Amino acid sequence: MSIDDEGPRRPLSPPPRPPGSALAPASLAVHLGRPPRSPGGPLNPDIVLSSTFHQGGDLMYGRDGNPTWEALEDAVGGLEGGQALSYASGLAAISAVFECLPVPGRVVIAADAYNGTRRYLSDVAGRGRLRFRTVDIADTEATLDACSEVAAAPGRPSGAPGSFGAGGLLWLESPTNPLLAIADLEALTAGAHEMGLDVAVDNTFATPLLQRPLDLGADVVVHSATKWLAGHSDVVLGVAATRRDDVLASLTTRRSLHGGIPGPWEAWLVLRGIRTLDVRMQRCQANAAELAGRLRGHPRVTGVRYPGLADHPGHALAARQMSGFGAMLAFEVVGGADAAEAVALKCQLATAGTSLGGVETLIERRGRWSGEGDLPPGLLRLSVGVEDVDDLWDDLDAALS
Ligand SMILES: Cc1ncc(COP(=O)(O)O)c(C=O)c1O
């Protein structure tokens, strides 16, 4: 058969509606970031391996842009309801947001936010570029008090009034890593804005399928896409998303200047992971809810933190601002640090190791990291995967016993 024998080309159905359309997030996750539908064309974006682009177009050099990143950014931006930029890692996205602040920046941050974020802040604060204070973000009043102190603090930063972070930045994470505290995103964002602070939310634990901070008023949202978005423990990448043109422009400039760009392979892998995010999350969170309930009844477990449990202090709030409780939980074991380490290492199915968000269950005593601060010594964090829940329970039960 020659190439001419194909017959008339049939028109294809129209592409899925753009972000903001009536499509459900599960459908958007499958369809955003694909090339236009054309007969014979590929379903997936190319992995564009080029540092240089022909002169005359918008894209000239690989530190400023890449078509594979753009496909991923279309997908994450659509899911978060903003415009997204991808970075070399979650921490590269996080530091890019802080780099947008005028000097000296003024920051209020969750006391149990991801320890890498707090270590980054300590590093830049030590060099005089910002000041930060930590708060219990589950305590809305205390957090807003901290914001008002920042707003009233003497010493104006160098940024123009109204520019991002000129009045300070409230950095939220909800649920927090690893204590699973829940912040009232809407109330905190509204209160912080009233006092002139901007608000950023690390949405790594929830993912945009369970929580959309930009809808709740946040100015910018960040992800360690290494985790749930990618979902297979095979890539490191970060994303920031915003609806504000000024923030997008500042983040774009900073990414080009600082060079914290992702690789095209990594961007493609994260986009492939996003295709199954909804089914993975459904399975993982159903497993997490089941394990949380069973762990609570275990004689060697003294406390379980999972926002889906009715007695979790943030349960009602999480039910209001999230469409699911996620698949992260933490629990404390009798016997403190040594006992907890032993449980993690005895697990045969769950893997003792750091990170989270993969299809495989990971277990870790977070207190083993020096930067973690004041955690209960026997606290184990569980990132629940897609394995059979009874197999997971047998494994945990055996390790605990
Ligand atoms: C909540 C949270 N945010 C950010 C990060 C940093 O992401 P990355 O490791 O991709 O730099 C992590 C990493 O564990 C995290 O758990």
180: nearest Cα among 114, 264, 234, 124: 114
The chain-wide mean pLDDT, for the chain, equals 93
CA dist 273 → 27, 233, 278, 280, 288 (Å): 14, 10, 10, 9, 20
CA dist 206 → 370, 396, 401 (Å): 25, 24, 31
Structure tokens given for 176: 């927090």
Q: Return the DSSP state at 52.
A: B
Is 338 an annotated catalytic residue? no
Query: Which residues' Cβ are closer than 6 Å to ligand 1?
Result: 89-91, 114, 116, 173, 177, 202, 204, 224, 226, 236, 238
pLDDT per residue as tens digits for the range 191-240: 999 999 999 999 999 999 999 999 999 999 999 999 999 999 999 999 99
**Residue 188: helix, strand or coil by DSSP?**
helix
CB 378 within 8 A of CB 352: no
CB 231 within 8 A of CB 200: no
Which secondary-structure segment (H or E) carries 169? strand 169-173
Domains for the chain: give ranges and CATH numbers. 67-275 (3.40.640.10), 280-400 (3.90.1150.10)
Q: How many Å apart are CA 253 and CA 247, to the nearest integer?
A: 10
Q: Where are the alpha helices (DSSP H) in 259-382?
A: 264-275, 277-296, 315-321, 336-346
CB 233 within 8 A of CB 280: no
CA dist 29 → 23, 76, 88, 179 (Å): 10, 8, 21, 28
Which amino acid residue places its CA nearest to atom 16 of ligand 1?
Answer: 114
73: nearest Cα among 201, 264, 300: 264
Structure tokens given for 244: 């504000």
Q: How many Å apart are CA 360 and CA 230, to the nearest integer?
A: 13
157: nearest Cα among 168, 146, 148, 149: 168
pLDDT per residue as tens digits for the range 361-390: 999 998 888 777 788 999 999 999 999 999
Write down how long the chain is.
401
Q: How many Å apart are CA 61 and CA 348, to the nearest integer?
A: 47
What pLDDT band is residue 188 in, cutting at 50, 70 and 90? very high
CA of 17 from ligand 1 middle (Å) equals: 31
Which amino acid residue places its CA nearest to atom 7 of ligand 1?
Answer: 90
- For the cut 90, the answer to whether the pLDDT of residue 162 exceeds it is no
Which amino acid residue places its CA nearest to atom 8 of ligand 1?
Answer: 90
| Residue 20: predicted pLDDT | 52
Cβ neighbours, 10 Å, residue 22: 6
Which secondary-structure segment (H or E) carries 269? helix 264-275
Q: How many Å apart are CA 308 and CA 285, to the nearest integer?
A: 9
What pLDDT band is residue 3 in, cutting at 50, 70 and 90? very low
Q: How far is CA 28 from the centre of its chain?
A: 18
Residue type, 307: P
Structure tokens given for 238: 């970060």
CA of 347 from ligand 1 middle (Å) equals: 24
Which amino acid residue places its CA nearest to atom 2 of ligand 1?
Answer: 114
Structure tokens given for 285: 């969170």
Ligand 1 atom closest to the Cα of residue 94 is: 4
HSE of 222, CA atoms in CB hemisphere, 13 A = 27
pLDDT per residue as tens digits for the range 59-70: 999 999 999 999
Q: Which of 94, 172, 177 to mutate to test the pocket of ligand 1 (most atoms within 8 A of CB)?
A: 177
Q: Return the DSSP state at 103.
A: S
| Residue 21: predicted pLDDT | 64
CA of 370 from ligand 1 middle (Å) equals: 16
Is 114 an annotated catalytic residue? yes
pLDDT per residue as tens digits for the range 327-373: 999 999 999 999 999 999 999 999 999 999 999 999 999 888 877 77
Ligand 1 atom closest to the Cα of residue 237 is: 10
List 214's β-bridge partners, or say none: none
Is 227 an annotated catalytic residue? yes
CA of 84 from ligand 1 middle (Å) equals: 17
Q: How many Å apart are CA 65 and CA 69, to the nearest integer?
A: 7
CB 42 within 8 A of CB 35: yes
pLDDT per residue as tens digits for the range 77-114: 999 999 999 999 999 999 999 999 999 999 999 998 99
Among residues 63, 129, 131, 133, which one is catalytic?
63
| Residue 1: predicted pLDDT | 38
What pLDDT band is residue 172 in, cutting at 50, 70 and 90? very high
For 183-209, give one letter per residue: b (16+ CB within 10 A) or e.
bbbbbbbebbbebebbbbbbbbbbbbb
CA of 133 from ligand 1 middle (Å) equals: 20
Among residues 74, 112, 198, 202, which one is catalytic?
202
| Residue 348: predicted pLDDT | 97
Q: Which of 227, 232, 234, 235 to mutate to test the pocket of ligand 1 (most atoms within 8 A of CB)?
A: 227
Q: How many Å apart are CA 261 and CA 99, to the nearest integer?
A: 15
Q: How many Å apart are CA 316 and CA 313, to the nearest integer?
A: 8
List 109's β-bridge partners, or say none: 134, 171
**Residue 55: helix, strand or coil by DSSP?**
coil
| Residue 8: predicted pLDDT | 42
Among residues 87, 112, 114, 366, which one is catalytic?
114
pLDDT, mean of residues 269-295: 98
Q: How far is CA 154 from the centre of its chain?
A: 33
CA of 160 from ligand 1 middle (Å) equals: 31
